[in-house]
Amino acid sequence: MQKRIPVTRIFHAAALALMLAICVPVAGYAQPTAPPADIQSFFQQVSGEWIGTVEQYTGGVKAETKYFHSVTKQTGPDTYEDVFEYYRIDKVTKAPVQVGITTMTTKITAQGVATNTIVGKGDVFIDPKTLKPESHTLSEVLMMSSDGSLQGTGSGKINVSGLSMDAGKNGKVSHYTSTWVLKNGALNITERLKVSFHVFLFTLPYNIVDNLAAKRGSDVKALMQSAGADLETGPPKH
């Protein structure tokens, strides 16, 4: 007889997928020589490669630390594209394993507001031996505050494939806020998300907080080692 996965367990897995996938903006911001005066100058400091960590919490419970590498390119006078690759440490081989990829497209309007379109995909753990594919789409509007930080608001959706009762379909990110601080050659972002999944008459909400930190670099493996991770041979350096 096929073993059924409890609905609450499915909800939890889908929420963890979002936590992994959502953390996309951090790598796209450069080491400044002076505080940016506006959104255009903020994004003009975006170029090159970045590495960083993601500390994630759902309902106050911390998830496994993730690591990332990204490449940021200016594609036009007011447009940028960031490609992010995410890694975790394989608990058996101790090697870095890619667990997701996300693209963020940024457009700066004539009014000095930035809009982000975020599209990504990855894998979500259903149990210790089972992975399911997920995909997500988010939109965000960013404005600059008087202190030089960026304040963002947005919403989006997530889908997790292959779950019983289609529990992973039509997940909703109803409210999203972010604060972006670029200071002393480092970027720190705090993201807060309200996420819900629906199956029949059931609705399960999640409050997710992501704390992100990035610096210039390209070697994810070296970052993991400096953080104290016990690594064997992993993927090649970028």
* Digit-coded pLDDT (tens) for 120-152: 887 765 554 566 788 889 999 999 998 888 899
- Domain annotation covers residue 165: yes
Residue 18 lies inside a defined structural domain of this protein: yes
pLDDT in tens, 180-232: 888 888 888 888 888 788 878 888 777 878 887 899 899 998 998 887 665 55
The confidence score (pLDDT) of residue 27 equals 41
Q: What is the pLDDT averaged over residues 163-179?
A: 84
Residues 1-27: tens digit of each pLDDT:
444 445 455 445 444 444 444 444 444
Give this prediction's pTM: 0.77
- The per-residue pLDDT for 145 is 92
Q: How many CA atoms lie within 13 A of 84 on its CB side?
A: 32
Transcribe 109-170 into DSSP letters. Answer: -TTS-EEEEEEEEEEEEEETTEEEEEEEEEEEEEEE-TTS-EEEEEEEEEEE-S-GGGTTTT
pLDDT recorded at residue 125: 56
Q: What is the pLDDT of residue 7?
A: 46
> Does 231 reside within a domain?
no
Q: Which two tokens stand for residue 220?
A: 């994810």
Q: Determine, yes or no, domain membership for 235.
A: no
110 domain-assigned:
yes
Specify if 233 maps to a domain: no
Residue-wise pLDDT for 35-73, tens only, equals 788 888 888 887 778 889 988 787 787 877 888 888 888
Q: What is the dihedral of CA 31, 36, 42, 47, to 10 degrees?
A: -30
CATH number at residue 177: 2.40.128.20
Report if residue 133 sits inside a domain.
yes
Please count the structural domains in the chain: 1
Domain extent for 31: 7-226
